[in-house]
């Protein structure tokens, strides 16, 4: 009897030891946690980025462990509004189930660490990690008056190189990150046979602008050898959409050879416009550009399409949202040739509730693009597909946006709710007005695009 008891006791002890040492029950160490936090959280939680506290060192992470636990359990962070059950992207900030379990187990066990020296390599985040080939700064900082209203400016950032080259990517780096709402930027290319001096003149002019031609003259952007008032003779060539920025924006760049543009040795990056949200404290903004050169002309050019507000398609019905209503709008665009979609970017303001975009092919197939069940104004990514989404000629891109203009919307800027609609020009860009836009970046289709890896 004693011998049988000993055998049973030994077996139970062995089983308990096995369970304690099994992967499911083993103690998680900081060296397993650090790569998760650094990849999925520290991109924003580091100096100069949007996160309200830093997650760089072990002690940073342990100090904020309860906040991390709350964010994970409530699916609050990392911020990734797109529904991963509908479409997948290359630049996802999403925790896997295994990562969630590891983090929660580690926090529950009081954050054990054999080695606390592992730190996040800073600046590999919302800015690109390689050193830029050129930094273009504002000639003079932009003064923002603390009067509690939105501000819109047209801004120039002139540069000069020793020779012509090609640009792979242009990154806007906001100095006043909490105030910059969006940036639309272009490149002005000048004819070397004509006279110009874009280093003269004012750096920026606040909108609204009554006479744009006079404003461009005041900024020194026009040719100086022409006396007429014909804009076609006075203004340089504009290369559109060379730089972007939106809240939560992560750099939008592709594999070498995809995208980019010719960069003349003399030129101006022209931000038309840069939008700052309201502030009650006057300040200066010294945002700047990082330019990354390409070794040669792009193998594949990237183009951009735009649906909705200021775009190539009408919004149905017109974007007017009565008070105390939840209303849905649609916009659609016919694609005239075979294209390969690389990335998509939905855009709404504070009344946005949900967003859905897909394509209908001539064969009646539905191709999912993106679905955002719960719109978040603070996180407006350019979502990059893992591989191009091929849309055949004759496909129709459809975007559907729902807006909540009731007091139940905690982000509604008006209380009580008032009628909100799409404005004209820069007026519709105020966060308290509304927009309904869907941007998509694409290449002209080539065989094999559906297996091409595009994300850098």
**Structure confidence at residue 427 (pLDDT):** 47
- Distance from C-alpha of 27 to C-alpha of 34, rounded to nearest angstrom: 15
Residues 345, 207, single domain; the answer is no
Q: What mean pLDDT do residues 239-254 have?
A: 78
Among the ranges 241-245, 291-295, 399-403, which has the highest mean pLDDT value?
399-403
C-alpha 62 chain-centroid distance: 29
- DSSP assigned state of 455: B
State the pLDDT confidence band at 255, using cuts at 50, 70 and 90.
confident
Residue 149 belongs to some domain of the structure: yes
Residues 331, 185, single domain; the answer is no
**Structure confidence at residue 78 (pLDDT):** 84
How many domains are contained in the chain? 3
- Characterize the bridge pairing of strands 142-144 and 283-285: antiparallel
**Structure confidence at residue 332 (pLDDT):** 98
Residues 204, 334, single domain; the answer is no
**Structure confidence at residue 456 (pLDDT):** 66
138, β-bridge pairs: none
**pLDDT greater than 70 at residue 242:** yes
Residues 259, 188, single domain; the answer is yes
> In this predicted model, what pLDDT tens digit does every residue of 146-164 receive, in sequence order?
998 889 899 999 999 999 9
**pLDDT greater than 90 at residue 116:** no
State the pLDDT confidence band at 324, using cuts at 50, 70 and 90.
very high
Residues 186, 51, single domain; the answer is no
What CATH number does the domain containing 233 carry? 2.60.120
Residues 405, 320, single domain; the answer is yes
Residue 39 belongs to some domain of the structure: yes
- Distance from C-alpha of 313 to C-alpha of 367, rounded to nearest angstrom: 19
| Cα–Cα–Cα angle for 256, 177, 238, rounded to 5 degrees | 50
**Structure confidence at residue 17 (pLDDT):** 44
| Cβ partners under 8 Å of residue 373, min gap 6 | 83, 354
Considering 69, 96, 124, which residue would you say is the last residue of a domain? 124
Residues 255, 332, single domain; the answer is no
Check the CA dihedral 159-162-164-170 and report its sign. Answer: negative
Backbone φ, ψ for residue 209 (5° rounding): -115, 125
* End-to-end Cα, the chain, rounded Å: 68
- Distance from C-alpha of 353 to C-alpha of 411, rounded to nearest angstrom: 10
Residues 281, 311, single domain; the answer is no
9-13, 194-198, 245-249 — which is least confidently predicted?
A: 9-13
Residues 388, 422, single domain; the answer is yes
Q: What mean pLDDT do residues 70-81 have?
A: 86
Backbone φ, ψ for residue 33 (5° rounding): -85, -40
Residues 274, 334, single domain; the answer is no
Q: What is the dihedral of CA 230, 232, 237, 241, to 10 degrees?
A: 90
Q: Which of 320, 325, 354, 351 is nearest to 414 (CA)?
A: 351
Residues 288, 139, single domain; the answer is yes
**Structure confidence at residue 55 (pLDDT):** 86
327 or 232, which is more confident: 327
**Structure confidence at residue 123 (pLDDT):** 44
Buried b (16+ CB within 10 A) or exposed e, 26-58: eebebeebbebbbebbbbbbbeebbbeebbbeb
Considering 252, 274, 294, which residue would you say is the last residue of a domain? 294
Considering 294, 329, 357, which residue would you say is the last residue of a domain? 294
**Structure confidence at residue 289 (pLDDT):** 95
**Structure confidence at residue 425 (pLDDT):** 52
**pLDDT greater than 60 at residue 311:** yes
Residue 397 belongs to some domain of the structure: yes
**Structure confidence at residue 122 (pLDDT):** 52
Residue 9 belongs to some domain of the structure: no
Average pLDDT score over the chain? 86
Residues 253, 329, single domain; the answer is no
Q: What mean pLDDT do residues 170-187 have?
A: 88
> In this predicted model, what pLDDT tens digit does every residue of 335-345 receive, in sequence order?
999 999 999 99
- Quickly list H helices, 298-363: none
- Distance from C-alpha of 300 to C-alpha of 257, rounded to nearest angstrom: 6
Cα R_g (the chain), whole angstroms? 26
Among the ranges 28-42, 232-246, 250-264, 391-405, which has the highest mean pLDDT value?
391-405
**Structure confidence at residue 184 (pLDDT):** 83
**pLDDT greater than 50 at residue 313:** yes
Residue 7 belongs to some domain of the structure: no
Residue 323 belongs to some domain of the structure: yes
Residue 14 belongs to some domain of the structure: no
- DSSP assigned state of 196: -
State the pLDDT confidence band at 423, using cuts at 50, 70 and 90.
low
**pLDDT greater than 50 at residue 2:** no
Q: What's the domain range around 374?
A: 303-451
DSSP codes joined into one string, 271-306: EEEEEE---SS-EEE--EEEEEEESSS-SB--EEEE
What CATH number does the domain containing 356 carry? 2.60.120.230
**Structure confidence at residue 44 (pLDDT):** 78
Q: Is the pTM of this model over 0.95?
A: no
Tokens of 33: 């946690």
State the pLDDT confidence band at 392, using cuts at 50, 70 and 90.
very high
**Structure confidence at residue 19 (pLDDT):** 44
């Amino acid at each position: 009897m004693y011998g049988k008891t000993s055998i049973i006791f030994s077996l139970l002890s062995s089983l308990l030891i096995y369970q304690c040492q099994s992967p499911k029950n083993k103690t998680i160490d900081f060296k397993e946690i650090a790569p998760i936090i650094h990849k999925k959280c520290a991109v924003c939680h580091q100096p100069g980025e949007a996160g309200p506290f830093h997650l760089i060192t072990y002690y940073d992470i342990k100090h904020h462990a309860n906040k991390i636990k709350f964010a994970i359990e409530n699916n609050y962070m990392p911020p990734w509004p797109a529904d991963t059950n509908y479409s997948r992207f290359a630049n996802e900030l999403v925790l896997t189930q295994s990562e969630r379990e590891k983090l929660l187990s580690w926090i529950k066990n009081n954050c054990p660490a054999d080695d606390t020296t592992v730190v996040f390599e800073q600046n590999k985040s919302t800015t690109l990690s390689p050193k830029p080939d050129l930094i273009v700064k504002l000639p003079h900082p932009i003064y923002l008056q603390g009067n509690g209203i939105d501000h819109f400016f047209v801004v120039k950032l002139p540069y000069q190189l020793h020779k012509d080259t090609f640009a792979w990517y242009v990154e806007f780096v906001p100095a006043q990150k909490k105030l910059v709402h969006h940036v639309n930027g272009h490149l002005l290319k000048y004819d070397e046979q004509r006279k110009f001096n874009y280093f003269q003149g004012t750096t920026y002019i606040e909108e609204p602008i009554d006479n744009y031609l006079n404003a461009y003259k005041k900024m020194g952007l026009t040719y100086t050898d022409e006396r007429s008032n014909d804009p076609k003779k006075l203004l340089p060539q504009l290369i559109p959409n060379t730089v972007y920025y939106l809240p939560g924006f992560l750099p939008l760049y592709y594999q070498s050879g995809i995208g980019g543009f010719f960069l003349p040795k003399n030129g101006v990056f022209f931000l038309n416009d840069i939008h700052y949200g309201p502030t009650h404290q006057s300040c200066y903004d010294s945002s700047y550009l990082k330019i990354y050169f390409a070794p040669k002309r792009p193998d594949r050019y990237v183009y951009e399409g735009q649906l909705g507000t200021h775009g190539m398609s009408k919004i149905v019905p017109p974007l007017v949202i009565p008070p105390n209503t939840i209303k849905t709008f649609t916009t659609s665009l016919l694609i005239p040739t075979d294209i390969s979609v690389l990335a998509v970017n939905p855009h709404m303001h504070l009344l946005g509730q949900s967003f859905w975009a897909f394509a209908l092919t001539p064969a009646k197939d539905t191709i999912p693009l993106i679905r955002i069940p719960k719109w978040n104004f603070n996180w407006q990514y350019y979502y990059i597909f893992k591989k191009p989404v091929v849309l055949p000629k004759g496909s129709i891109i459809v975007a559907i946006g729902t807006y909540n203009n009731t007091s139940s919307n905690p982000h509604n800027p008006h209380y009580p709710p008032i009628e909100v609609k799409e404005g004209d020009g820069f007026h519709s860009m105020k966060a308290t007005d509304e927009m309904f836009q869907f941007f998509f970046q694409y290449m002209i289709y080539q065989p094999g695009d559906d297996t091409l890896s595009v994300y850098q």
